[in-house]
Amino acid sequence: MSVIKVDQIQGSTGTTVTIPSGTTIVNSGTATNFGLADTNSSSSSLTKQWINYKGTDTNAVNDSMNCSSVTDSSAGNYRPVFSNNMDNGNYALSGVSDGRGSGDTPDDGTFVIGTSSTYSVTPSSSTYGVLCCTASNGSRVDLDNVHMCINGDLA
């Protein structure tokens, strides 16, 4: 078997490199990134963190992606930490909570991101703050099920 070692393959007269009909290209199982050099373009549209969080009693991360921990700072004040950091603090947070109450008739509950205040933190590449408040009067409250979702650029 002949081995050709190069860093780049380029067409001799243009950008097309032709693989002749009947030719088989075999990945022996050791090659990586085969044909996927431009992975960054597919990354931007992916959600970079999502969390299903229990904010009452024994606080717990029920399920998550890219979340190492969530600190329960005070009533309705949570601070998720990324496993793999973001590039900066300019990401987009979205989410919702289960309403207070039970079954199919919840009555209240919401959450907002905290930026820089007594109760929260400025979003950074490693963490951010979330405040959960009652929609009816704005008071901070622990909620049973808080959902957080982050879109943005990873480091």
Partner 1 sequence: MSTLITNTFTGKTSAGSIVVTGEGGSTTTNLQQGLNKVWFTLGVDAVQDDSFNCSSVDDDGSGDYGIHFTNDFNNALYSSSIGMTVTGLNDRYMVQSPSKAAGAVEVRLLNTNDGSATESNITHAEMKICGDLA
Give the interface with partner 1 as residue ranges (CB under 8 A): 35-40, 42-44, 46-48, 50-52, 62-66, 84-85, 87, 94-99, 101-110, 134-136, 144-145, 147-149, 153-155
CB of 109 to partner 1, least distance (A): 5
CB atoms within 10 A of CB 24: 5
Cβ proximity to partner 1: between 1 and 60 the closer is 60
Pick 8 or 118: Cβ nearer partner 1: 8
Burial of residue 55, with CB atoms counted within 10 A of its CB: 0-12 exposed, 13-18 middle, 19 or more buried: buried
Minimum CB–partner distance for residue 123 and partner 1 (Å): 16
Query: Nearest distance from residue 76's CB to partner 1, in Å?
Result: 14
Report how far residue 101's alpha carbon sits from residue 85's, in angstroms, rounded to the nearest whole number: 35
Q: What backbone torsions phi and psi does residue 89 show, to the nearest 5 degrees?
A: -90, 10
CB 42 within 8 A of CB 154: no
Burial of 130 (0-12, 13-18, 19+ CB in 10 A): buried
Nearer to partner 1 by Cβ, of 59 and 85: the residue is 85
From 108, 92, 114, 120, select the one nearest 144 (Cα to Cα).
Answer: 108
- Taking the complex as a whole, the smallest distance from the CB of residue 92 to partner 1 amounts, in Å, to 10
Nearer to partner 1 among residue 71 and residue 88 (C-beta)? 88
Considering the complex, what minimum distance in angstroms separates the CB of residue 128 from partner 1? 15
1 or 9, CB closer to partner 1? 9
